[in-house]
Chain A
Amino acid sequence: EIVMTQSPATLSVSPGERATLSCRASQSVSNNLAWYQQKPGQVLRLLIYGASTRATGIPARFSGSGSGTEFTLTISSLQSEDFAVYYCQQYNNWPSFGGGTKVEIK
């Protein structure tokens, strides 16, 4: 099983600032990595797939990078609607998720 580790567990950011979230895989997953956003009471939302491709309708302030074992999700200028929990998921083998990063208002 590929273990995904996200850091930090919680990120405190002021609106308008940049947020950088990390995801590490226990072995290489190439670029077979996706990012999701979860907000209370809402359906999970796909943000990024292929490590860096934005899903349909996702604003350009969200960007993904990395390959192999190290990945980053960057939110360039946090909007109020971006405060949420973010998960990474690898699909290089049977899927597994990271533990999540909660982005909260500073």
Chain B
Amino acid sequence: EVQLVESGGAVLRPGGSLRLSCAASGFNFDDYGMTWVRQAPGKGLEWVSAINWNGVSTGHADSLKGRFTISRDNAKNSLYLQMNSLRVEDTAFYHCARVILGHCDGDTCWGYFDSWGQGTLVTVSS
């Protein structure tokens, strides 16, 4: 059974940094791309970042303006999200999900998300 368990959520002041983790099990982690999606309390889903199977290719939402970095450690079956210069509007549940590739344009591929974690809450407040 595929399991994704996020951790690392916390309460922070604006300007702070945080690293989230996602522990994967039940599948060959290094066969899949992975992604982070966030959801502000009571709001909809917002795609944050994605990484391919070996970590060489990544993508981030333009709205993040380079503040977040996605990475992975296939030896540890783990996905990470480094978040810097946090803002009040970054307050959200952060979910990791497994990517199933569905469409490629040249060397870049995108997909849908077939397995999700429960999420970890990041609260940014002054």
Contacts and interface: CB of A to CB of B under 8 A. Distances in A.
Interface of A: 1, 30, 32, 34, 36, 43-46, 49-50, 55, 87, 89, 91-100
Contacts, number: 63
A93 B110 contact: yes
A97 B59 contact: no
Interface of B: 35, 37, 44-47, 50, 59, 61-62, 95, 97, 100, 102-103, 105, 110-118
Summarize A's interface: helix, strand, loop or mixed.
Answer: loop
Q: Which DSSP category, helix, strand, loop or mixed, fits chain B's interface?
A: strand
Contacts of A97: 37, 44-47
Nearest to A88: B45
Contact of A46 (B37, B44, B61, B114): B114
A49 B45 CA distance: 17
